[in-house]
A = this chain, B = another copy of it.
Amino acid sequence: MAPLSSGKTRPVRLADIAKAAGVSHGTASNVFARPEIVREEVRERVKAAAEAMGYGGPDPKGRLLRAGKVNAIGVATAEPLSYFFNDPFARVMMASISQACDATGAGISLVSAANNEQLAWNIQSALVDGFIVFCIEGGSRLVELARERKLPFVALDLDSDDDDAVAAIGVDNIAGAGLAARHLTELGHRRFAVLALPCADAGFGPTTQAQVEKALYSGTRDRLRGYFAELSRVDIDVSKVPIYETVNDEESVWAGLDHIFAGAETPTAILAMSDRIALHALDWLRQHDITVPGDVSIVGFDGVPEGAVSKPPLTTIVQPIAEMGRLAVKAILENDGTFSRQSLPVDLVVRASSGPSPA
Protein backbone atom coordinates (compact mmCIF):
# COMPACT_ATOMS: atom_id res chain seq x y z
CA MET A 1 0.00 0.00 0.00
CA ALA A 2 2.95 2.31 -0.30
CA PRO A 3 1.90 5.27 -2.43
CA LEU A 4 4.33 4.50 -5.23
CA SER A 5 4.54 0.75 -5.38
CA SER A 6 0.81 0.20 -5.56
CA GLY A 7 -1.56 1.42 -8.23
CA LYS A 8 -1.89 0.73 -11.91
CA THR A 9 1.03 -0.94 -13.64
CA ARG A 10 2.92 1.37 -15.89
CA PRO A 11 4.24 -0.26 -19.07
CA VAL A 12 7.85 -1.37 -18.78
CA ARG A 13 10.43 0.91 -20.32
CA LEU A 14 13.82 0.13 -21.68
CA ALA A 15 15.31 1.96 -18.72
CA ASP A 16 13.50 -0.38 -16.34
CA ILE A 17 14.99 -3.51 -17.75
CA ALA A 18 18.38 -1.83 -17.97
CA LYS A 19 18.24 -1.19 -14.26
CA ALA A 20 17.01 -4.71 -13.58
CA ALA A 21 19.84 -6.20 -15.60
CA GLY A 22 22.36 -3.86 -14.03
CA VAL A 23 23.47 -2.16 -17.23
CA SER A 24 23.12 1.33 -18.61
CA HIS A 25 20.18 2.24 -20.81
CA GLY A 26 22.63 2.72 -23.64
CA THR A 27 23.69 -0.89 -23.48
CA ALA A 28 20.13 -2.08 -23.12
CA SER A 29 19.27 -0.17 -26.27
CA ASN A 30 22.14 -1.81 -28.10
CA VAL A 31 20.92 -5.25 -27.12
CA PHE A 32 17.88 -4.66 -29.29
CA ALA A 33 19.21 -2.37 -31.99
CA ARG A 34 22.73 -3.78 -32.54
CA PRO A 35 22.97 -7.03 -30.62
CA GLU A 36 26.30 -7.91 -32.25
CA ILE A 37 28.22 -5.21 -30.45
CA VAL A 38 27.29 -6.29 -26.94
CA ARG A 39 29.00 -9.15 -25.17
CA GLU A 40 27.02 -12.35 -25.27
CA GLU A 41 26.84 -12.73 -21.52
CA VAL A 42 25.41 -9.24 -21.07
CA ARG A 43 23.08 -9.64 -23.97
CA GLU A 44 21.53 -12.74 -22.48
CA ARG A 45 21.18 -11.11 -19.10
CA VAL A 46 19.32 -8.14 -20.58
CA LYS A 47 17.11 -10.33 -22.71
CA ALA A 48 16.26 -12.44 -19.70
CA ALA A 49 15.33 -9.34 -17.72
CA ALA A 50 13.17 -8.15 -20.60
CA GLU A 51 11.43 -11.47 -20.77
CA ALA A 52 10.90 -11.60 -17.03
CA MET A 53 9.43 -8.12 -16.84
CA GLY A 54 7.21 -8.58 -19.85
CA TYR A 55 8.94 -5.99 -21.98
CA GLY A 56 7.46 -5.76 -25.46
CA GLY A 57 10.61 -4.55 -27.20
CA PRO A 58 11.67 -0.94 -27.81
CA ASP A 59 8.58 1.19 -28.18
CA PRO A 60 8.42 2.66 -31.69
CA LYS A 61 6.94 5.82 -30.21
CA GLY A 62 10.25 6.57 -28.58
CA ARG A 63 12.36 5.51 -31.49
CA LEU A 64 10.30 7.57 -33.87
CA LEU A 65 11.07 10.89 -32.28
CA ARG A 66 14.78 10.25 -32.41
CA ALA A 67 14.81 8.70 -35.86
CA GLY A 68 12.68 11.36 -37.46
CA LYS A 69 11.33 9.10 -40.15
CA VAL A 70 8.08 7.20 -39.72
CA ASN A 71 8.61 4.99 -42.73
CA ALA A 72 5.01 5.15 -43.74
CA ILE A 73 3.15 7.16 -46.28
CA GLY A 74 -0.30 8.56 -45.74
CA VAL A 75 -3.01 8.23 -48.31
CA ALA A 76 -5.66 10.85 -47.82
CA THR A 77 -9.11 11.37 -49.21
CA ALA A 78 -12.15 13.43 -48.40
CA GLU A 79 -14.35 10.37 -48.76
CA PRO A 80 -14.98 7.96 -45.90
CA LEU A 81 -12.25 5.39 -45.37
CA SER A 82 -14.27 2.62 -46.92
CA TYR A 83 -13.89 4.42 -50.24
CA PHE A 84 -10.46 2.82 -50.53
CA PHE A 85 -11.97 -0.63 -50.48
CA ASN A 86 -15.17 -0.05 -52.41
CA ASP A 87 -14.42 2.23 -55.32
CA PRO A 88 -12.96 0.30 -58.26
CA PHE A 89 -10.58 3.03 -59.34
CA ALA A 90 -9.36 3.64 -55.81
CA ARG A 91 -8.85 -0.06 -55.28
CA VAL A 92 -6.67 -0.51 -58.32
CA MET A 93 -4.72 2.57 -57.43
CA MET A 94 -4.28 1.43 -53.85
CA ALA A 95 -3.18 -1.99 -54.99
CA SER A 96 -0.43 -0.41 -57.03
CA ILE A 97 0.52 1.98 -54.26
CA SER A 98 0.73 -0.88 -51.84
CA GLN A 99 2.92 -2.86 -54.18
CA ALA A 100 5.32 0.03 -54.41
CA CYS A 101 5.29 0.34 -50.63
CA ASP A 102 5.86 -3.36 -50.14
CA ALA A 103 8.86 -3.17 -52.41
CA THR A 104 10.46 -0.45 -50.34
CA GLY A 105 9.24 -1.70 -46.99
CA ALA A 106 7.17 1.39 -46.27
CA GLY A 107 3.84 1.18 -44.50
CA ILE A 108 0.55 2.76 -45.46
CA SER A 109 -1.68 4.90 -43.30
CA LEU A 110 -5.19 5.54 -44.46
CA VAL A 111 -6.34 9.02 -43.58
CA SER A 112 -9.79 10.37 -44.02
CA ALA A 113 -12.88 11.83 -42.54
CA ALA A 114 -16.23 12.63 -43.96
CA ASN A 115 -16.78 15.70 -41.81
CA ASN A 116 -14.50 18.65 -41.90
CA GLU A 117 -13.01 19.33 -38.47
CA GLN A 118 -12.24 15.68 -38.12
CA LEU A 119 -10.52 15.71 -41.47
CA ALA A 120 -8.32 18.61 -40.57
CA TRP A 121 -7.28 16.98 -37.35
CA ASN A 122 -6.64 13.65 -39.01
CA ILE A 123 -4.33 15.22 -41.52
CA GLN A 124 -2.60 17.34 -38.94
CA SER A 125 -1.92 14.44 -36.64
CA ALA A 126 -1.13 11.69 -39.12
CA LEU A 127 2.17 9.99 -38.45
CA VAL A 128 3.54 9.82 -41.96
CA ASP A 129 6.52 10.89 -44.02
CA GLY A 130 4.34 12.32 -46.74
CA PHE A 131 0.92 12.31 -48.29
CA ILE A 132 -0.62 10.95 -51.42
CA VAL A 133 -3.85 12.86 -51.85
CA PHE A 134 -6.80 11.45 -53.74
CA CYS A 135 -8.40 14.46 -55.31
CA ILE A 136 -11.74 13.22 -56.32
CA GLU A 137 -14.10 15.86 -55.16
CA GLY A 138 -13.46 18.68 -52.78
CA GLY A 139 -9.82 18.03 -53.35
CA SER A 140 -8.61 21.57 -52.99
CA ARG A 141 -9.23 21.78 -49.27
CA LEU A 142 -7.46 18.47 -48.80
CA VAL A 143 -4.47 19.67 -50.76
CA GLU A 144 -4.39 22.84 -48.71
CA LEU A 145 -4.39 20.90 -45.46
CA ALA A 146 -1.75 18.48 -46.63
CA ARG A 147 0.48 21.25 -47.80
CA GLU A 148 0.24 22.99 -44.45
CA ARG A 149 1.99 20.03 -42.89
CA LYS A 150 5.04 20.97 -44.98
CA LEU A 151 5.59 17.33 -45.78
CA PRO A 152 6.26 15.95 -49.23
CA PHE A 153 3.03 15.23 -50.98
CA VAL A 154 1.61 14.47 -54.38
CA ALA A 155 -1.91 14.88 -55.61
CA LEU A 156 -3.33 12.12 -57.73
CA ASP A 157 -5.48 13.32 -60.58
CA LEU A 158 -4.41 16.80 -61.56
CA ASP A 159 -7.56 18.29 -60.30
CA SER A 160 -7.04 21.85 -59.29
CA ASP A 161 -4.81 23.18 -61.98
CA ASP A 162 -5.11 26.72 -60.70
CA ASP A 163 -2.10 26.10 -58.54
CA ASP A 164 1.06 25.02 -60.24
CA ALA A 165 3.00 24.76 -57.04
CA VAL A 166 1.45 21.45 -56.03
CA ALA A 167 3.14 18.29 -57.14
CA ALA A 168 0.66 16.11 -58.95
CA ILE A 169 0.42 13.02 -61.07
CA GLY A 170 -2.32 12.61 -63.59
CA VAL A 171 -3.09 11.69 -67.15
CA ASP A 172 -3.54 13.66 -70.29
CA ASN A 173 -7.32 13.97 -70.10
CA ILE A 174 -7.67 15.95 -73.30
CA ALA A 175 -5.73 13.45 -75.38
CA GLY A 176 -7.53 10.52 -73.76
CA ALA A 177 -10.94 11.96 -74.41
CA GLY A 178 -9.86 12.73 -77.95
CA LEU A 179 -8.91 9.10 -78.44
CA ALA A 180 -12.33 7.95 -77.25
CA ALA A 181 -14.20 10.34 -79.51
CA ARG A 182 -12.06 9.59 -82.53
CA HIS A 183 -12.58 5.87 -82.07
CA LEU A 184 -16.32 6.40 -82.29
CA THR A 185 -16.26 8.83 -85.18
CA GLU A 186 -14.11 6.42 -87.11
CA LEU A 187 -16.82 3.84 -86.59
CA GLY A 188 -19.19 6.22 -88.34
CA HIS A 189 -21.06 7.62 -85.36
CA ARG A 190 -22.51 11.12 -85.69
CA ARG A 191 -25.08 11.33 -82.90
CA PHE A 192 -23.36 11.61 -79.51
CA ALA A 193 -24.22 12.08 -75.84
CA VAL A 194 -21.87 12.72 -72.94
CA LEU A 195 -22.23 11.34 -69.44
CA ALA A 196 -20.00 13.65 -67.44
CA LEU A 197 -18.31 13.48 -64.07
CA PRO A 198 -19.18 16.16 -61.53
CA CYS A 199 -18.24 19.72 -62.38
CA ALA A 200 -18.53 20.96 -58.83
CA ASP A 201 -20.00 19.80 -55.57
CA ALA A 202 -23.44 20.70 -56.75
CA GLY A 203 -25.42 17.63 -57.70
CA PHE A 204 -26.46 16.17 -61.01
CA GLY A 205 -28.55 17.01 -64.03
CA PRO A 206 -28.31 18.14 -67.64
CA THR A 207 -25.68 20.76 -68.28
CA THR A 208 -23.99 22.67 -71.09
CA GLN A 209 -20.59 23.10 -72.58
CA ALA A 210 -20.38 26.59 -71.13
CA GLN A 211 -21.11 25.27 -67.65
CA VAL A 212 -18.48 22.61 -67.91
CA GLU A 213 -15.91 25.13 -69.08
CA LYS A 214 -16.34 26.82 -65.74
CA ALA A 215 -16.04 23.53 -63.89
CA LEU A 216 -14.24 23.39 -60.59
CA TYR A 217 -12.72 20.06 -61.52
CA SER A 218 -10.35 20.35 -64.39
CA GLY A 219 -10.54 16.64 -65.11
CA THR A 220 -14.17 16.93 -66.09
CA ARG A 221 -13.50 20.03 -68.10
CA ASP A 222 -10.52 18.63 -69.95
CA ARG A 223 -12.26 15.41 -70.88
CA LEU A 224 -15.11 17.38 -72.37
CA ARG A 225 -12.67 19.57 -74.25
CA GLY A 226 -11.01 16.47 -75.62
CA TYR A 227 -14.30 14.99 -76.75
CA PHE A 228 -15.52 18.14 -78.39
CA ALA A 229 -12.26 19.03 -80.08
CA GLU A 230 -12.36 15.71 -81.84
CA LEU A 231 -16.06 15.88 -82.71
CA SER A 232 -15.67 19.38 -84.10
CA ARG A 233 -12.82 18.18 -86.24
CA VAL A 234 -15.21 15.96 -88.16
CA ASP A 235 -17.84 18.71 -88.35
CA ILE A 236 -20.23 17.49 -85.71
CA ASP A 237 -22.17 20.33 -84.15
CA VAL A 238 -21.14 19.98 -80.54
CA SER A 239 -23.67 22.50 -79.36
CA LYS A 240 -26.32 19.87 -80.10
CA VAL A 241 -24.59 17.11 -78.12
CA PRO A 242 -26.44 16.59 -74.84
CA ILE A 243 -24.23 16.60 -71.73
CA TYR A 244 -25.50 15.14 -68.49
CA GLU A 245 -23.57 15.71 -65.28
CA THR A 246 -23.59 12.67 -62.99
CA VAL A 247 -22.13 12.03 -59.58
CA ASN A 248 -20.61 8.78 -60.69
CA ASP A 249 -23.30 6.61 -59.17
CA GLU A 250 -26.11 4.47 -60.47
CA GLU A 251 -28.93 6.86 -59.67
CA SER A 252 -27.50 9.86 -61.47
CA VAL A 253 -26.34 7.82 -64.47
CA TRP A 254 -29.75 6.27 -64.91
CA ALA A 255 -31.40 9.64 -64.57
CA GLY A 256 -29.04 10.91 -67.22
CA LEU A 257 -29.95 8.17 -69.64
CA ASP A 258 -33.66 8.63 -68.97
CA HIS A 259 -33.13 12.24 -69.91
CA ILE A 260 -30.96 11.61 -72.94
CA PHE A 261 -33.14 8.90 -74.45
CA ALA A 262 -36.32 10.89 -73.86
CA GLY A 263 -35.34 13.22 -76.72
CA ALA A 264 -36.47 12.77 -80.31
CA GLU A 265 -33.05 12.12 -81.77
CA THR A 266 -31.37 9.49 -79.61
CA PRO A 267 -27.62 9.05 -79.74
CA THR A 268 -25.83 6.06 -81.23
CA ALA A 269 -22.70 6.73 -79.23
CA ILE A 270 -22.15 7.56 -75.58
CA LEU A 271 -19.01 9.09 -74.18
CA ALA A 272 -18.76 8.21 -70.49
CA MET A 273 -16.20 10.07 -68.42
CA SER A 274 -15.55 7.11 -66.14
CA ASP A 275 -15.81 3.36 -66.35
CA ARG A 276 -18.11 3.38 -63.39
CA ILE A 277 -20.50 5.60 -65.30
CA ALA A 278 -20.16 3.41 -68.37
CA LEU A 279 -20.86 0.24 -66.41
CA HIS A 280 -23.98 1.69 -64.83
CA ALA A 281 -25.01 2.83 -68.29
CA LEU A 282 -24.56 -0.70 -69.62
CA ASP A 283 -27.03 -1.91 -66.99
CA TRP A 284 -29.53 0.74 -67.94
CA LEU A 285 -29.25 -0.03 -71.65
CA ARG A 286 -29.69 -3.74 -71.06
CA GLN A 287 -32.78 -3.11 -69.00
CA HIS A 288 -34.21 -0.97 -71.79
CA ASP A 289 -33.47 -3.60 -74.44
CA ILE A 290 -31.05 -1.38 -76.24
CA THR A 291 -28.25 -3.57 -77.55
CA VAL A 292 -24.60 -2.68 -77.20
CA PRO A 293 -22.90 -2.19 -79.55
CA GLY A 294 -25.76 -2.94 -81.99
CA ASP A 295 -27.91 0.09 -81.22
CA VAL A 296 -25.56 2.14 -79.15
CA SER A 297 -21.80 2.18 -78.64
CA ILE A 298 -20.23 3.34 -75.41
CA VAL A 299 -16.68 4.18 -74.41
CA GLY A 300 -15.57 4.58 -70.80
CA PHE A 301 -12.58 6.15 -69.12
CA ASP A 302 -10.16 4.79 -66.49
CA GLY A 303 -9.54 1.18 -67.35
CA VAL A 304 -10.76 -0.52 -64.17
CA PRO A 305 -10.67 -4.32 -64.18
CA GLU A 306 -14.47 -4.61 -63.96
CA GLY A 307 -14.62 -3.20 -67.47
CA ALA A 308 -12.87 -6.25 -68.86
CA VAL A 309 -15.50 -8.67 -67.57
CA SER A 310 -18.68 -6.69 -68.04
CA LYS A 311 -21.31 -7.65 -70.57
CA PRO A 312 -20.27 -6.64 -73.11
CA PRO A 313 -16.66 -5.91 -72.16
CA LEU A 314 -16.08 -2.19 -72.14
CA THR A 315 -14.12 -0.21 -74.69
CA THR A 316 -12.32 2.36 -72.64
CA ILE A 317 -9.41 4.74 -72.19
CA VAL A 318 -7.06 3.09 -69.76
CA GLN A 319 -4.98 5.10 -67.37
CA PRO A 320 -1.60 3.68 -66.36
CA ILE A 321 -2.86 3.27 -62.82
CA ALA A 322 -0.04 1.02 -61.68
CA GLU A 323 2.54 3.42 -63.00
CA MET A 324 0.82 6.34 -61.32
CA GLY A 325 0.88 4.61 -57.97
CA ARG A 326 4.51 3.69 -58.35
CA LEU A 327 5.48 7.21 -59.27
CA ALA A 328 3.52 8.69 -56.40
CA VAL A 329 5.22 6.50 -53.84
CA LYS A 330 8.58 7.20 -55.38
CA ALA A 331 7.91 10.92 -55.29
CA ILE A 332 7.19 10.77 -51.58
CA LEU A 333 10.00 8.50 -50.52
CA GLU A 334 12.76 9.95 -52.64
CA ASN A 335 11.51 13.43 -52.25
CA ASP A 336 14.27 15.71 -53.40
CA GLY A 337 12.14 18.74 -53.87
CA THR A 338 12.47 18.59 -57.62
CA PHE A 339 9.22 16.82 -58.35
CA SER A 340 6.42 18.85 -59.80
CA ARG A 341 3.52 17.83 -61.96
CA GLN A 342 3.59 14.97 -64.31
CA SER A 343 1.11 13.92 -66.93
CA LEU A 344 1.11 10.34 -68.14
CA PRO A 345 -0.14 9.02 -71.47
CA VAL A 346 -3.32 6.99 -71.80
CA ASP A 347 -4.34 4.20 -74.14
CA LEU A 348 -7.46 3.28 -76.02
CA VAL A 349 -8.45 -0.33 -75.41
CA VAL A 350 -11.09 -1.54 -77.81
CA ARG A 351 -13.40 -4.20 -76.47
CA ALA A 352 -16.95 -5.14 -77.35
CA SER A 353 -18.97 -2.12 -76.22
CA SER A 354 -18.24 -0.16 -79.36
CA GLY A 355 -19.07 -0.99 -82.95
CA PRO A 356 -20.09 0.58 -86.25
CA SER A 357 -22.87 3.10 -86.23
CA PRO A 358 -26.20 1.38 -86.96
CA ALA A 359 -27.37 3.91 -89.55
Contact = CB atoms under 8 A, between A and B. Distances in A.
A35 interface: no
Contact of A110 (B54, B55, B110, B122): B110
Given A95-B85, A107-B122, A108-B110, A127 B70 contact: yes
Of A61, A62, A113, chain B has the most CB atoms within 10 Å of the CB of: A61
Contacts of A98: 80-82, 84-85, 110
A99 to B, nearest CB: 5
Nearest to A54: B150
Nearest to A56: B150
A105 interface: yes
Give how many copies assemble into the complex: 2
A102 B80 contact: yes
Nearest to A86: B95
Interface in A97-119: 98-99, 101-102, 105, 107-114, 118
Interface string A82-93: 101110000110
A85 B85 contact: yes
A262 interface: no
A151 interface: yes
Contacts of A149: 56-57
A61 B64 contact: yes
Interface string A141-168: 0000000111100000000000000000
A62 B94 CA distance: 29
Nearest to A71: B125
Given A125-B63, A148-B57, A107 B111 contact: yes
Nearest to A70: B127
A94 to B, nearest CB: 5
Contacts of A3: none
Interface in A270-316: none
B127 A102 contact: no
A268 B126 CA distance: 54
A142 to B, nearest CB: 15
A196 to B, nearest CB: 26
Name, among A81, A86, A149, the residue most crowded by chain B CB atoms within 10 Å (CB to CB).
A81
Contacts of A11: 150
Given A70-B127, A102-B112, A109-B107, A148 B56 contact: yes
A118 B60 CA distance: 15
6 contacts: A63-B125, A70-B127, A81-B98, A82-B96, A107-B126, A110-B110
